[in-house]
Amino acid sequence: MNTFTICRKELSGYFRSPIAYGVMAFFALIAGYFFYVAVLIFVRRGFESQMMGQSFPMDMNEWIIRPVFSNISVVGLFLIPMITMRLFAEEKRSGTIELLTTSPLFDLEIILGKWLAALILYAAMLGLSLISMLVLFAYGSPDWKPLMVGYLGLLLQGGALLAIGTFISTCTKNQIVAGVAGFAICLLLWVLSWVSEFETSNLASVISYLSVLSHFESFSKGVIDSKDLIFYLSAIFVGLFLTARSLETLRWRA
């Protein structure tokens, strides 16, 4: 109940500041462009295969939805810090954190409420890309199940990064610092997967396993791999756990 109250307050905060609109507009633009490019390539391939006289299996899921999802998951890395940066940093700067922590609320309610609000904003942002996906259903018949799995994957990946971003936001009073640090961590978690391209040692495979993006692979194909599911869920847990600890130490340090 209290979680819901906090969540509502955060959401209204998002939509009263330019953040929500900025993030969503930017996302709509980028995601729309990726969709356009993917469709263009798909159509061109269709023409080419007709000209050659050979028929390719024209699979929308494989040729449009999957690349678009991969691109969206990368775009998310850039936008997530903008969503999470204000969550705690702003409360610490303006002193409203004193209201929250001296009210009869459990820390967990505060944290979950804020994280949930961020997740809802992220989901609303993803929802914008659904519009272009629906166009596919108007002109073709892609399989809807892999599409749903892809969105589930995006939500899980987003949830994990949002949890980490929330933690970073508790560490500073400055939104900008929280944003930049969050961005750095997101970027790091992305490029970790590149290690495995140069090296094949055990260490390299461990490092690349930590990359949030490599776990999205299977979801974008429409496969729910329990390994990846567990990775994301445990990342969410770790992020929120660190947030809780950080909020607790705030009292000892303040």
* Residues making contact with another protein (CB under 8 A): 2, 5-6, 9, 12-13, 16-17, 94-106, 251-252, 254
User: Of 9 and 173, which has the nearer Cβ to another protein?
Assistant: 9
| Closest approach of another protein to the CB of residue 6, in Å | 7
| Closest approach of another protein to the CB of residue 183, in Å | 24
Cβ 219 vs Cβ 228: under 8 Å: yes
**What is the C-alpha to C-alpha distance for residues 208 and 88, in angstroms, rounded to an integer?**
30
User: Of 9 and 221, which has the nearer Cβ to another protein?
Assistant: 9
User: Of 227 and 253, which has the nearer Cβ to another protein?
Assistant: 253
Cβ 34 vs Cβ 72: under 8 Å: yes
Looking at this protein, which amino acid is placed at residue 55? S
User: Of 152 and 250, which has the nearer Cβ to another protein?
Assistant: 250
User: Of 139 and 252, which has the nearer Cβ to another protein?
Assistant: 252
Query: Which among 5, 173, 17, 18 has a CA at the least distance from the CA of 88?
Result: 173
3-state DSSP assignment of residue 154: helix
| Closest approach of another protein to the CB of residue 174, in Å | 17
Cβ 55 vs Cβ 49: under 8 Å: yes
| Closest approach of another protein to the CB of residue 111, in Å | 14
Cβ 37 vs Cβ 137: under 8 Å: no
Query: Which among 78, 250, 236, 251 has a CA at the least distance from the CA of 163?
Result: 236
DSSP at 193: G
| Closest approach of another protein to the CB of residue 246, in Å | 16
